[in-house]
């Protein structure tokens, strides 16, 4: 049977929506043989690696602001923007374009008040610039002796115990939203390191690349509580709201056909560094080129960072200003929305240096 790009992209949707089946043949990555919960923060924990952001860490991060410059890191949300196939983003004005409320009284016979609203239909935590919370990725276990057949979240929470049609218990976005992120951020600008605008689709950023970028940029390595952001240039393909539907479709097909990304060795390295969050200007963090098939361990970093260690993930970031300004170390500040029971959150984090 000939496997098309569309077929592979549908596989992406299924994996990201219903959980990722770990590959028992991958050495050191077997959820049955390895005891990965309870984690270091205790059996009832729902905050994960945000606990590496201590009060002292926040004070130190604030001292990184020297010039008072700022960059917002979110991409624009608009009808037609790139989406993982099968996901939805549709914003509309319920009146069809006119005022949605009013008119209400205002002094004078010639005056009144009117108001506008919008309706948004979307997987609100999983489209656009979006943060993967601890209720997003799962390890699925089926038919393993001594284990319940289920999808397992961070800290061993089972979907059958915490799932429901109105949101997730224990692992919803609201928990981390109660503390947020205010910490040191670093940019790992691999596109600049390689002297290109955009890394090739499928390019796997190596640990040697990571260390070379640190040296070229003149910054210290990641440390406990940091947010580490990788720039590949992929977000430059994003498009804009003014394009035609045909132009949107062409861009979305290219963006979704793969991406450069972060290799497993980097994710394992950053786990040891005890970072609080990883992020990138790509839609899925890991490298993919679906014309060559799906990788054996499909979303290694998602699983090993989030599910096993409570280190969250920010996707579809705009890192272009940081790159242009050579702002490689900065105060990173952001909090997810308090969406009770949600899998993630939209966001527009800020970097200040």
Residue 135: CB atoms within 10 A of its CB come to 29
The answer to whether position 17 is within a domain reads: yes
What is the mean pLDDT, run by run of 10 residues, along the chain of 353 residues? 40 40 47 84 97 98 98 96 93 91 91 94 94 96 92 96 95 97 98 98 97 98 98 94 94 93 96 98 95 81 95 98 98 98 97 98
The answer to whether position 276 is within a domain reads: yes
CA atoms within 13 A on the CB side of 334: 29
Contact 187, 177 (CB under 8 A): no
The answer to whether position 194 is within a domain reads: yes
pLDDT, position 294: 75
CA 190, 192, 196, 198 dihedral sign is positive
The answer to whether position 111 is within a domain reads: no
Q: Return the ∠ at Cα 212 (arms to 350 and 64), rounded to 5°.
A: 30
Residue 330: CB atoms within 10 A of its CB come to 26
CA 32 to chain centre: 27
pLDDT, position 28: 60
The answer to whether position 270 is within a domain reads: yes
pLDDT, position 298: 81
The answer to whether position 106 is within a domain reads: no
pLDDT, position 17: 39
The answer to whether position 266 is within a domain reads: yes
Peptide bond before residue 23 is cis, with ω within 30 degrees of 0: no
pTM exceeding the 0.85 threshold for the entire prediction: yes
Helix (H) or strand (E) holding 204: strand 204-205
- Kindly report the CATH number assigned to the domain that includes residue 29: 3.50.30.50
**Token duo for residue 19:** 């959980």
pLDDT, position 146: 87
Range of the domain at 278: 5-98+116-352
**Number of domains forming the structure of the chain:** 1
The answer to whether position 103 is within a domain reads: no
CA 20 to chain centre: 16
> What's the DSSP call for residue 170?
S
The 3-state DSSP class for residue 330 equals strand
CA atoms within 13 A on the CB side of 138: 25
Contact 10, 85 (CB under 8 A): yes
């Amino acid at each position: 049977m000939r496997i098309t790009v569309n077929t592979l992209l549908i596989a992406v949707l299924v994996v990201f929506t219903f959980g990722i089946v770990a590959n028992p043949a991958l050495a050191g990555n077997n959820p049955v043989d390895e005891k990965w919960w309870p984690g270091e923060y205790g059996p009832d924990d729902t905050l994960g690696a945000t606990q590496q952001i201590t009060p002292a860490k926040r004070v130190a991060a604030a001292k990184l602001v020297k010039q008072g410059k700022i960059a917002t890191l979110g991409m624009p949300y608009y009808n037609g923007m790139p989406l993982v196939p099968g996901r939805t983003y549709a914003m509309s004005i319920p009146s069809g374009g006119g005022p949605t409320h009013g008119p209400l009284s205002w002094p004078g016979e010639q005056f009144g008040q009117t108001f506008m609203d919008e309706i948004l239909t979307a997987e609100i935590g999983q489209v656009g610039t979006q943060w993967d919370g601890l209720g997003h990725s799962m390890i699925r276990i089926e038919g393993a002796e001594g284990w319940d057949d289920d999808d397992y979240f961070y800290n061993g929470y089972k979907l059958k115990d915490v799932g429901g049609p109105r949101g997730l218990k224990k692992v919803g976005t609201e928990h981390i939203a109660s503390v947020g992120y205010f910490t040191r951020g670093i940019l790992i600008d691999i596109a600049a390191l390689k002297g290109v605008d955009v890394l090739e689709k499928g390019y796997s950023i190596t640990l040697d690349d990571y260390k070379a970028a640190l040296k070229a940029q003149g910054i210290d390595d990641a440390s406990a509580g940091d947010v580490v952001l990788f720039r590949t240039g992929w977000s430059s393909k994003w498009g804009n709201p003014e394009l035609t539907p045909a132009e949107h479709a062409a861009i979305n097909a290219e963006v979704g056909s793969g991406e450069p990304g972060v290799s497993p060795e980097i994710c394992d390295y950053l786990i040891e560094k005890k970072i609080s969050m990883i992020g990138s200007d790509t839609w899925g963090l890991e490298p993919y080129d679906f014309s060559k098939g799906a990788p054996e361990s499909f979303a290694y970093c998602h699983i090993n960072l989030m599910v096993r260690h409570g280190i969250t993930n920010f996707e579809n970031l705009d890192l272009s200003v940081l790159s242009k300004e050579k702002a490689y170390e900065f105060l990173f500040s952001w909090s997810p929305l308090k969406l009770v029971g949600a899998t993630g959150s939209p966001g527009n984090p800020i970097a200040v240096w």
